[in-house]
Structure 1
């Protein structure tokens, strides 16, 4: 599996955070998938990813995230979120 640095070198718009503490973790069904939304301490932007199965709660855990910035338009208002492509416990 490629390291975070390898991914960052290949994809210039990709970002990475190390050892950030999760303050909120919500899991919701999204069709056949489960949509996960994380909030990290000190940041006001949600980090979103999908998995096929629910995941144990990450509240209070430290995680390493590799993600893309994205904006979604809901009811004519733009919201910024982060699309997680790789998550690991620190």
Structure 2
């Protein structure tokens, strides 16, 4: 989108956000049906999320929205890092 100077009003995503160490403790039905790539958010669960936040800031129109799912345990830390990127 950037290459063509395009922006969007909103982005909705369900990125991987589970800490690598917590993957083995997931409910069996989750681990059995989802590829690890779809679940594993890295050591702190924020690897992919921070990358997406950075990209979203560049792709959104003014007052655009970015909605994504995370686990409550990383909420405040992720919010602080995302705000610092602005």
Q: State TM-score, norm by structure 1.
A: 0.22
Which of the two has higher C-alpha Rg?
2
Q: What TM-score do the two structures reach when normalised by structure 2?
A: 0.22
Q: Looking at both structures, which has the greater relative contact order when contacts are Cα pairs under 8 Å and sequence separation is at least 6?
A: 2
More helix by share: 2
Which structure shows the bigger proportion of residues in strand conformation?
A: 1
